[in-house]
């Protein structure tokens, strides 16, 4: 009422809040699984492998869509998109608006809830290392941005990452319902490349030009200043940018390798279908088989006699 803006800082009580929303995430996960995904699975009659992947993509589509809408609302209302300078101005960003803090706590709760879900969903042993690696990377980046006061940069990066992941898992759901429909994979490929370019540009803008211009360049953990004094050193700054570029290049290389393999499989499948169709046409033509050979327009048997039956004269 007085125009005062209440802001928040992280602390030990966040652990209790995260624990509470872990249980909420488990309940929502079960609701989506029982009332949406299980009903669709009964109609599709998928195999066990496809059934597991369909459930994984279905849950992540719901989560990524919600997160993209929520994150986009936060960055627009807070003015992080309209004013890119706000990503590094007044660093460290120790005090957070309520919606930013709540978003980060819910993100941490969701990815922590994914650990017990590996047991509840009876995920195959072959899939557990891949999913554990994915969960660990998300927790590392989200918790790092939250604890090191890089929440504004983290919001933009999460928005780009979740947008690409949403199209990928949506394409997988469509593919499981109709294996001949791969158009959304092409859309995901375009979105993935665009988001990688934006991510790399954002890193260069914030690390290369933004943080080195911060007024407070001294290490001050009590105030949450962890980075600005490091980025004042041009050698350290260039080393970090080089590592970021190499990491993005490795991601793009794996993406290109995946696309080439997918196109190769597609063309091999198309060529095999054409060969199978050509063989079926040849087999469908009727074969004419004669009991003898032709000589002067008369069909004769192999021994030179006429194939017609002789009529016996009456005695």
CA–CA distance, 209 with 269 (Å, rounded to integer): 49
Question: Rounded to the nearest 10 degrees, what angle do helices 128-147 and 98-120 cross at?
Answer: 160
> Are the CB atoms for 195 and 164 separated by under 8 Å?
yes
Q: What angle do CA 227, 231, 235 make, to 5 degrees?
A: 135
- Portion of the chain with pLDDT greater than 90, in percent: 39
Give 96's strand partners: 8
pLDDT at residue 233 above 70?
A: no
pLDDT of residue 215: 62
| Percent helix, percent strand, percent coil in the chain, to nearest 5 | 70, 5, 25
308 versus 8: the higher-pLDDT residue is 8
Give tens-digit pLDDT for 135-180. Answer: 999 999 999 999 888 899 999 999 999 999 999 999 999 988 887 7
Grade residue 2 by pLDDT with cuts at 50, 70 and 90: low
Phi-psi region of 96 (alpha: psi -120 to 50; beta: other; left: phi over 0): beta
- For 263-302, how does the pLDDT look when each residue is reduced to its tens digit (9 = 90+)? 887 788 778 877 777 766 666 555 454 444 445 545 454 4
Checking if the pLDDT of 315 tops 50, the result is no
- The pLDDT value given to residue 68: 97
How far apart CA 305 and CA 18 sit, in angstroms, is 99
Cβ–Cβ < 8 Å for 40, 128: no
Neighbours of 189 (CB within 10 A): 19
pLDDT band at 209 (very low <50, low <70, confident <90, very high): confident
Lowest mean pLDDT: which of 98-102, 106-110, 225-229, 249-253?
225-229
């Amino acid at each position: 009422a007085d125009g005062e803006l209440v802001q928040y800082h992280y602390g030990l009580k966040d652990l209790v809040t995260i624990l509470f929303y872990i249980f909420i995430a488990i309940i929502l996960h079960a609701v989506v699984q029982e009332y949406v995904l299980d009903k669709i699975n009964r109609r599709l009659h998928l195999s066990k492998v496809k059934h597991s992947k369909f459930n994984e993509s279905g849950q992540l589509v719901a989560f990524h869509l919600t997160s993209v809408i929520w994150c986009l609302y936060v960055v627009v209302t807070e003015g992080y998109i309209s004013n890119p300078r706000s990503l590094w101005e007044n660093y460290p960003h120790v005090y957070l608006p309520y919606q930013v803090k709540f978003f980060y706590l819910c993100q941490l709760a969701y990815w922590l809830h994914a650990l017990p879900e590996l047991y509840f969903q009876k995920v195959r042993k072959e899939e557990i290392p891949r999913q554990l690696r994915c969960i660990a990377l998300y927790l590392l980046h989200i918790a790092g941005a939250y604890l090191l006061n890089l929440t504004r940069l983290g919001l933009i990066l999460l928005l780009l990452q979740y947008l690409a992941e949403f199209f990928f898992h949506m394409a997988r759901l469509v593919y499981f319902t109709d294996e001949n429909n791969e158009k959304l994979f092409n859309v995901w490929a375009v979105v993935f490349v665009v988001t990688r370019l934006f991510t790399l540009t954002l890193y260069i803008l914030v690390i290369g030009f933004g943080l080195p211009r911060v007024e407070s360049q001294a290490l001050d953990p009590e105030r949450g200043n962890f980075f600005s004094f490091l980025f004042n050193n041009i050698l350290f700054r260039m080393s970090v940018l080089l590592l970021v570029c190499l990491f993005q290049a490795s991601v793009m290389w794996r993406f290109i390798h995946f696309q080439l393999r997918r196109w190769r499989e597609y063309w091999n499948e198309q060529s095999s279908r054409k060969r199978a169709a050509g063989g079926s046409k040849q087999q469908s033509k009727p074969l004419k088989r004669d009991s003898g050979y032709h000589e002067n327009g008369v069909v004769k048997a192999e021994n030179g006699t006429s194939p017609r039956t002789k009529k016996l004269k009456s005695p």
